């Protein structure tokens, strides 16, 4: 199996940046007592994940096949 090291490196950097920004956002929300915003974000993200899992279970297709055609 051949790896594309450039794509792997770019993905690693993007994942690290998004992870750091996410941690900073959650830290800011906790410091400012904005739990309601965090709760709504978590509920929406959870609903999207459950819907994706149900769609894959019911249809037997992956989301990747839906997106990529």
pLDDT tens readout for residues 6-51: 999 999 999 999 999 999 988 998 888 888 888 888 899 999 999 9
Query: Encoding tokens for residue 61?
Result: 């297709």
Cβ contact 37:29 at 8 Å: yes
Query: Encoding tokens for residue 45?
Result: 């993200």
Phi-psi region of 59 (alpha: psi -120 to 50; beta: other; left: phi over 0): alpha
The CA-based angle 24-44-31, given to 5 degrees, is 30
Return the closest-CA partner of residue 42 out of 31, 30, 32, 54.
30
pTM greater than 0.75: no
Parse the chain into domains and list their residue ranges: 1-32, 34-69
């Amino acid at each position: 199996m051949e790896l594309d090291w450039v794509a792997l490196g770019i993905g690693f950097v993007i994942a690290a940046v998004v992870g750091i920004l996410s941690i900073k956002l959650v830290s800011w929300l906790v410091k400012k007592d904005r739990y309601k915003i965090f709760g709504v974000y978590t509920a929406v993200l959870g609903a999207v994940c459950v819907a994706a899992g149900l769609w894959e279970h019911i249809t037997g297709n992956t989301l990747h096949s839906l997106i990529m055609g």
